[in-house]
Amino acid sequence: MGLLGIIALVVLIFLGVNLGMAMGMVGFVGFMCVRGFPAAFAMIRSIPFTQASNYTLSVVPLFVLMGQFALHSGLSGGLYTMADRLLCKVRGGLAISSIFACAFFAAICGSTVATAATMGTIALPEMKKAGYDDAMSTGCLAAGGTLGVLIPPSTVFVVYGIAAEVPVGKLFAAGILPGILLAIAYMATVTIQCRINPKLAPPIDRHYTWEEKFRSMVGVLPVIILFACVIGGMFAGIFSSTEAAAMGAVISLTFMIIRRCFSFKTLFICLTETAKTVGMIYVILFGAIAFGYFMAVTRIPSSLANWTASLDVSRYVIIAFIVIFYFFLGCIMDALAMIILTVPIFLPVITELGFDLVWYGVIMVLVGNLGVMTPPVGMNVFVIAGIAKEVPLYTIFRGVMPFVVACLIVTAIVVSFQQISLYLPELLYN
């Protein structure tokens, strides 16, 4: 019955049914076949209220709202200006500056698509004007956007924390070092490509005085203040994750007012986009919980956990197979949907193998990043294609492939050296 349910879910997804609705329908029908209609109806009736009234889940709309306010407050422009002035003499400096700015913007936004769209709007015209190769300029921005879900605050980490019952603060701490490592890997990818083929990024004859460079750093202060208040306050124990998200939303709104970006029209757009995003997340979450209940009564997760534990192979071999599975799944599914869908199935396996659930969350996000860069979903690629309408989609996918390789290398490093993701959580919470 469980296997039939999984097959039915895959068929519905390929037919284009909304993922949350597909999981909810399969969960309800499957639960009804196993336990009867009254039990299935009671389950599907209680899930929305139980989850929506959960105080822990209130962190999701607050972080999304903070990201929307930060997105519309114009903070990204200052980030790019500073990075450009500091790296103007480096070959490929504009591409490296874009990744640098994406990393900082990710620290206040938490959205892959928003990071790619915002930095793409700012950086693409500059790189085109400088004569950068289209594949290089679009590829680095599509990849740079993936930092939005790894460097905290991250909505994906929040949802995974709720689904896996892992403290959100620990997940945020765990994402910092891998996020920095991934950003460095992307910058190194640009440098290596430019060394191999200098035509990808022509040298820019531009000079800034030290005064101009220091002045550009002032534009980054709001981002540093926001990150320090939200993440620093949470790690210091001053705020809970929900309070930190609320504080971040207030500070982002304040910066929007101070920078004269506020209007009632902008406020309406921020609230509307927040409602759409949160509604989408909640529908997927409700459906995933129903599907998880169905999986639980079929005993597939526990049977899979017992079977993997009995295999006479290294537990890292099993992790490698799971990572490969996620890689292919990420090619057809959004990272958030992929994580919510697979947590009920693979979490018992990871627990049985003795792996840390915080570390596993980082691995899932890293592999999920590949999904927004690879076809056929490639959400970030389509976002950049919408901005650079004159660049063929094939060119953008070609440009992002070296960064996919870099992401795979970083994933392998984090899998091999667990302390990269566990050092900060152990330091801050033990």
Q: Is the pLDDT of residue 70 over 90?
A: no
DSSP 153: S
Sequence-distant (≥ 6) Cβ neighbours of residue 194 within 8 angstroms: 91, 92, 200, 201
> Would you place residue 82 in the very low, low, confident or very high pLDDT band (cuts 50, 70, 90)?
confident
pLDDT per position as a tens digit, 384-412: 888 888 888 888 889 999 999 999 999 99
Residue 189 confidence (pLDDT) above 90:
yes
**How many domains does the chain contain in total?**
1
18-27, 81-90, 118-127, 172-181: range with lowest mean pLDDT: 81-90
pLDDT band of 414, cuts 50, 70, 90: very high
Average per-residue pLDDT in the chain?
A: 82
Q: How far apart are CA 234 and CA 222, in angstroms?
A: 18
Do residues 334 and 149 touch, judged by C-beta distance below 8 A? no
What pLDDT, on a 0 to 100 scale, did the predictor assign at position 206?
Answer: 67
DSSP annotation of 149: G
Nearest to 173 by CA among 162, 159, 157: 157
> What Rg value do the Cα atoms of the chain yield, rounded?
22
Local confidence band at 110 (pLDDT 50, 70, 90 cut-offs): low
Full 3-state SS string of 174-213:
HHHHHHHHHHHHHHHHHHHHHHHCHHHCCCCCCCCCHHHH
CB distance 83 to 97 below 8 Å? yes
Contact call for residues 115 and 145 (beta carbons, < 8 A): yes
Assess whether pLDDT exceeds 80 at residue 241: no
Range of the domain at 397: 2-429
Tokens of 32: 């009804």
